[in-house]
């Protein structure tokens, strides 16, 4: 729920104005409105709104000019402006941002989605959705009803409309459905940890890739001569799949990543090579004062084995230090790990030790081993909580289930 606010709405279309007013009033907000920019400028100061919603295409003064004039007034310069328009071009989105708008919502409007969009923009939350939390193999059936049976796919969405997707395991199919249901043009950055099957094999079923007008950038680490483009194409070539990447209708860029730092629209991305066969990247995403780390697949060797690497553990702890949410491969209990040493995945005690060292705020365990049932995962979660308590750590631990959402 969006806490009650005062909205001033500007739209030249009488019906739209009525509809937006109704949606807002029904949700407990106070509303005043005007049918032109000039009228809005005359009355807006007296109403003292928390937020101005404006259309773009209006006679005389368009919505972007209204944004500029509002921002030029000292008593209104901090007023949050959201553009509500039928125009769905990148050019207009950029122009609205340049004119001072903090958000952009496209018509047609549906009440629940509209209020949810307003909330996302005004509260400026980072929204984390889980679409698949199982490792190695999808495991449908009665043993995986609680946590879900899909392989890794996690998304982060931001108030500025950026959508980051991590991995394209079978969970991405449900994300695909959810995005199509919302409608409109889809644009996203897709970060692949590594090209093992459980992290890429549902990419060909991500329908938005086939739709003209959508835009994606697919990023991940190179493997020898094979860049991201070749790695994605290879699983869709010849006898392995009947459709090739040439059938993708969306505009798609591929980007090979190393250990590096870069920024996308005010969101910082950092990468780190993980302990796993081949090149596997972990990601740290920072937005304003918040951060989320996505670390899978990854083996933190315990001190009892010769491969133990304190230098690597310290580096990883620095990488995830004090993050709000650490999403991490916790495939095994310590007991199960004994027969899986060198498989590239971590156990409870080492993950909890990392969380303690790095003073992680919330630990989210995932990439569960395919033989584990829901009850086994719940048991592993209890073991994590106990391990953290024994270490004197204040880290909160969660075993997220497919379909769950967290806000940061
Ligand atoms: Zn995996
Ligand atoms: Zn792997």
- Tell me the sheet residues that pair with 264: 267
Ligand minimally distant from the alpha carbon of residue 279? 2
Nearest ligand atom owner, CA of 331? 1
Write the DSSP symbol of residue 106.
E
Nearest to 257 by CA among 344, 193, 345: 193
Identify the pLDDT of residue 21.
Answer: 97
Question: Distance from the CA of 306 to the center of ligand 1, in angstroms?
Answer: 23
**3-class SS of residue 222:** coil
* pLDDT of amino acid 161: 86
Domains of the chain (ranges plus CATH)? 6-123 (3.40.50.2300), 127-407 (3.60.15.10)
Q: What are the start-end ranges of the H helices in 219-365?
A: 228-234, 310-320, 334-337, 348-357
CA of 160 to the centre of ligand 2 (A): 32
Q: CA-CA distance, 325 to 314, in Å (whole number)?
A: 18
| C-alpha of residue 194 to centroid of ligand 1, in Å | 8
Ligand of minimum distance to the alpha carbon of 275 = 2
| 385 CB-side CA count, 13 A | 10
Cα(15) to centroid(ligand 1), Å: 51
DSSP state for residue 152 in the 8-state scheme: P
Question: Which residue, 392, 397, 357, is CA-closest to 380?
Answer: 397
User: Which of 186, 189, 174, 176 has its CA nearest to residue 132?
Assistant: 174
User: Which residues lie at CB < 5 A from ion ligand 1?
Assistant: 135, 198, 297
Q: What is the pLDDT of residue 317?
A: 98
Number of the ligand closest to the Cα of 277 = 2
User: What pLDDT sits at residue 146?
Assistant: 98
Concatenating the DSSP letter of every residue in 64-100 gives HHHHHHHHHSGGGTT-EEEEEES---HHHHHHHHHTT
The rounded distance, in Å, linking the Cα atoms of 280 and 195 is 8
What is the C-alpha separation between 283 and 291, in angstroms, rounded? 10
* 408 residues of the chain, pLDDT tens digit each: 788 999 999 999 999 999 999 999 999 999 999 999 999 999 999 999 999 999 999 998 999 999 999 999 999 988 999 999 999 888 999 999 999 999 999 999 999 999 999 998 999 999 999 999 999 999 999 999 999 999 999 999 998 889 999 999 999 999 999 999 988 889 999 999 999 999 999 999 999 999 999 999 999 999 999 999 999 999 898 888 889 999 999 999 999 999 999 999 999 999 999 999 999 999 999 999 999 999 999 999 999 999 999 999 999 999 999 999 999 999 999 999 999 999 999 999 999 999 999 999 999 999 999 999 999 999 999 999 999 999 999 999 999 999 999 999
Q: Note the pLDDT of residue 221.
A: 97
Q: Which-ligand-closest: CA of 343?
A: 2
The pLDDT value given to residue 37: 95
Is this prediction's pTM over 0.85?
Answer: yes
Q: What is the distance between the alpha carbons of residues 127 and 120, in angstroms, rounded to a whole number? A: 8
Largest CA distance in the chain: 75
Buried b (16+ CB within 10 A) or exposed e, 253-279: ebebbeeeeeeeeebebbbbbbbbeeb
**For the chain, how many residues are written?**
408
What is the C-alpha separation between 203 and 217, in angstroms, rounded? 13
Please give the distance, rounded to the nearest whole angstrom, from the Cα atom of residue 260 to the centre of ligand 2: 21
Beta-carbon contacts of 204 under 8 Å, excluding residues fewer than 6 positions away, are 235, 236, 241, 243
How many whole angstroms separate alpha carbon 90 and alpha carbon 97? 11
β-sheet bridge partners, residue 166 = 154, 191
Which ligand sits nearest to residue 167's alpha carbon?
Answer: 1
């Amino acid at each position: 729920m969006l806490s009650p606010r005062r909205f001033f709405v500007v739209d030249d279309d009488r019906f739209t104005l009525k509809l937006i007013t109704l949606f807002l009033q029904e949700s407990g907000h106070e509303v005043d409105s005007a049918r032109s920019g000039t009228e809005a400028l005359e009355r807006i100061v007296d109403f003292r709104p928390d937020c101005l919603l404006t259309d773009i295409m209006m006679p005389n003064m368009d919505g972007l000019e209204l944004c500029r004039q509002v921002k030029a007034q000292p008593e209104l310069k901090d007023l949050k402006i959201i553009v509500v328009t039928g125009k769905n071009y990148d050019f207009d989105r950029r122009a609205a941002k340049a004119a001072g708008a903090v958000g952009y919502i496209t018509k047609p409007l549906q009440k629940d989605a509209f209020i949810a969009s307003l909330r996302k923009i005004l509260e400026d939350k980072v929204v984390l959705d889980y679409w698949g939390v199982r490792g190695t193999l999808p495991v449908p059936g009665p043993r995986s009803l609680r946590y879900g049976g899909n392989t890794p796919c996690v998304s982060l969405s931001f108030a500025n409309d950026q959508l980051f997707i991590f991995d394209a395991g079978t969970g991405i199919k449900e994300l695909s459905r959810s995005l199509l249901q919302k409608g409109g043009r889809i644009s996203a950055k897709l970060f692949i940890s590594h090209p093992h099957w459980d992290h890429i094999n549902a990419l060909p079923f991500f329908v938005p890739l086939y739709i003209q007008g959508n835009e994606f950038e697919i990023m991940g680490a190179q493997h020898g001569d094979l860049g991201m483009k070749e790695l994605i194409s290879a699983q869709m070539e010849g006898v392995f799949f009947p459709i090739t990447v040439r059938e993708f209708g969306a505009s798609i860029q591929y980007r090979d990543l190393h250990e590096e730092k870069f920024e996308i629209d005010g969101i910082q991305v950092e990468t780190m090579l993980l302990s796993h066969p081949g090149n596997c990247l972990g990601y740290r995403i920072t937005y304003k004062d918040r951060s989320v780390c996505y670390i899978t697949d990854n083996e933190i060797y315990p001190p009892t084995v010769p491969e133990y690497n304190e230098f690597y553990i310290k580096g990883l702890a620095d990488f995830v230090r004090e993050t709000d949410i650490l999403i991490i491969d916790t495939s095994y209990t310590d007991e199960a790990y004994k027969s899986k040493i060198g498989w590239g995945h971590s156990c409870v005690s080492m993950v909890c030790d990392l969380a303690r060292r790095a003073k992680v705020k919330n630990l989210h365990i995932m990439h569960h081993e395919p033989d584990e049932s829901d009850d086994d995962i719940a048991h592993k979660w209890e073991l994590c909580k106990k391990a953290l308590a024994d270490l004197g750590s204040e880290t909160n631990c969660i075993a997220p289930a497919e379909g769950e959402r967290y806000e940061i």
